Structure 1
Amino acid sequence: MNSVEAKILLKQFKANDKDAINKLYEMFSRKLYNFAFSYLKTEEDALDVVQTVFVNLWDKRKNISDDSNLESYLFTVTKNAVISTFRKKVQEKKYLENLRQTTVLSYNDTDEKYDYEILYEKIQKLIEELPEKRRHIFKLYKEEGLSNKEIAEKLNISVKTVEDHKTKAKHFIKNNLEKSGFIALLLFEVFL
Structure 2
Amino acid sequence: MPAKIALSDIQLIDRLKLDDETALALIYKRYWELLYTSAYHVLKDSHACEDIIQELFIKLWNNRHQLQIMFSLRAYLYACIRYEVYRQIRKGPIRADIFDEALSYIRSPDAYDSMEYKELSTRVSAIVNNLPEKCREVYKLSREDCLSHKEIASQLNISTKTVENHLTKALRYLRTSMGGILPLLLYFFIKK
Q: TM-score range by the shorter chain?
A: 0.3 to 0.5
Query: How does the TM-score come out when normalised to structure 1?
Result: 0.43
Query: How does the TM-score come out when normalised to structure 2?
Result: 0.43
Structure holding more helix per residue: 1
Specify which structure has the bigger relative contact order, considering alpha-carbon pairs within 8 angstroms and separated by 6 or more residues.
2
